Every structure is written in C-alpha cells, then in structure tokens.
Amino acid sequence: MIPNHTQFLEAIRERKLIRVVFYSHPDHGTVDRECAPLDYGPEPGSSETLNQYWIWDHAATAGTNPLGLLPDQIVSLRVLGSDFDPAQLPVGERPWTVLRDWGKPAKSGAPAAAAP
C-alpha cells in the first residue's frame, strides 16, 4: 500500500480527482496525471490476487483505461479539490472492491469526459 492509501479510498467515495505521479511502462518513465480514482483491489476477472490502484487516466497515454497501478509504480499521489462525475466514465459494469454510492455506471465504449 502507498502511504496515503486512506486518502485514495476517500477520494473514490467523495468523487474527488487525484494527481498521481507514476512509472508508466508504455512511456518508459514517470508521468504526472490528473485522474479519477476508481478502485483498489485485484483485476476483475483475473486469477491474479495482486491489489492495484485503479484510475481513469483522462490523457490515456500511459495505458488502457481503467489503468491498474501497483503500489511500487506510484511515486506520489494527492487528492485535489475538484470533483468528477462517475457517470461520465465509461467503465461499464464492474465489481467494485471499495464500497461507494456512484449510482448507475456509464455504458462501456461511450466517449470519456474531458479532463476538467
């Protein structure tokens, strides 16, 4: 787990954007992104049991969305004061590990909302 794990979980429940600096394999280096926090847990439908920090990267250059980050990939993470609308994120039906009240999900394949 990362040092501010609790703040990440609160950001999910409170629908707050985060700024995360992480090592991106596709970019071969660290990137700094404003993202929506989605979940913390293993990849849905996978036999892997490694917990990952799941985020929606509006820039979508560091991998496919949603993006799962292992704790050792995260350099820093902080919660921002800006809100995000989960209904605008096309994550589709997904079994969440972190409890939250986000209402009905957006249809998978719908266009992603632009970063605020």
100: in domain: no
Residue 94 domain-assigned (yes or no): no
Confidence of residue 104 (pLDDT cuts 50, 70, 90): low
Task: Write the pLDDT tens digit of every residue in 11-45.
Answer: 999 999 999 999 998 889 999 999 999 999 998 88
**Structure-token match 């995260």, residue found:** 74
Output the pTM of the full model: 0.83
User: What pLDDT score was predicted for residue 58?
Assistant: 83
Query: Is residue 97 one of the residues assigned to a domain?
Result: no
What CATH number should be reported for the domain holding residue 39? 2.30.30
Residue 8: other Cβ atoms inside 10 A: 23
Q: How many domains does the chain have?
A: 1
The label of the residue with tokens 């986000």 reads 102
pLDDT at residue 101 tops 50: yes
Q: Note down the domain range covering 17.
A: 5-88
Mean pLDDT of the chain: 86
| Rounded to 5°, angle at Cα 4 from 112 and 28 | 55
The pLDDT value given to residue 105: 54
Residue 9 placed within a domain = yes
User: Is residue 31 in some structural domain?
Assistant: yes
Asked if residue 78 is part of any domain, the answer here is yes
